[in-house]
Amino acid sequence: MPEAFEAGTVYTRREGRKPEHMKAKTGDWVQIASTVLRPGERAPQVPPDTQAVPLEMKLKGFAMTKASLGEEIMVRTVTGRIAKGTLVGINPGYPHGFGRPAPELLAIGTELRRILRGEEDDAR
């Protein structure tokens, strides 16, 4: 399995790899990964750092067979396409959230309200 996609898969990142989480059943909502272009096959205009790595693709669909993480599997996507790839996620979640408050932003509201209320002598 390409390590690259493993890192982006929330399931494996957040919950670890318990044995019961490593196997997909037929019909499970899964994520697969595949390589579209290998290094050397990439578009001529891409810079050297991108030329050196493959173009990889991830998509989601319903598993058409059972499989374990890292095995080849076929999926049916929501548009009805059938696609093949390495199983990298089972019922994958979303890794994004609201992050942490940025200390650099926390004072801005107070500062601006002080200017607005005329409590700041030299706003300029």
Partner 1 sequence: MSKDLSYSAVMARKNEIMIKSVGIDYSEFQQGPLAFDYEGMMKKAGYPLEQVAAIQAETGVGNTPLLELKNITELVRKISPSGYGARILIKDEASNPSGSFKARRAALSIYQAQRLGYKGVICASSGNYGAAVASQAAMRNLNCIVVQEVFDSRGLGQPEIIEKGRACEAYGAEVVQLTVGPEIFYVALMLLEQTGYFNASLYTPFGISGIETLGAEIALQSRVLAGRDPDVVVVTHAGGGNVTGTARGLRKAGSARTEVVGASVDLSGLHMASDRDFNRKSFTTGHTGFGVPFATWPDRVDVPRNAARPLRYLDRYVTVTQGEVFYVTEALAQLEGMERGPAGNTSLAAAMAVAQELPLEQVVVVQETEYTGAGKHPMPQLTFARENGVVVRRGDPSENKPGAEIVIPERLAQIKARDFPLENLRRSYIRNALQACGRTTLDEREVLFLIEETSAPRAFVEQALRDGGAVLGV
Near partner 1 by CB under 8 A: residue from 21, 60, 62, 64: 60
Burial of 12 (0-12, 13-18, 19+ CB in 10 A): buried
**Is residue 63 part of the contact set for partner 1 (CB under 8 A)?**
no
Q: Closest separation between CB of residue 18 and partner 1, Å?
A: 21
Structure-token pair, residue 63: 């598993």
DSSP category for residue 71: S
Query: Which among 107, 113, 115, 105 has a CA at the least distance from the CA of 123?
Result: 115
User: How far is it, in rounded angstroms, from Cα 30 to Cα 10?
Assistant: 12
DSSP string, 28-60: -EEEEEEEEE-TTSS-TTS-HHHHTS-EEEEEE
Near partner 1 by CB under 8 A: residue from 22, 23, 28, 42: 42
**3 vs 20, beta carbon nearer partner 1:** 3
Q: Closest separation between CB of residue 58 and partner 1, Å?
A: 4
Near partner 1 by CB under 8 A: residue from 46, 70, 72, 84: 46
Q: Closest separation between CB of residue 106 and partner 1, Å?
A: 9
**Is residue 123 part of the contact set for partner 1 (CB under 8 A)?**
yes
User: How far is it, in rounded angstroms, from Cα 19 to Cα 21?
Assistant: 5
Summarize as ranges the residues that interact with partner 1 (CB under 8 A).
2-9, 36-37, 41-43, 45-47, 49-50, 52-61, 77-81, 94-102, 104-105, 108-109, 112-113, 115-116, 123-124
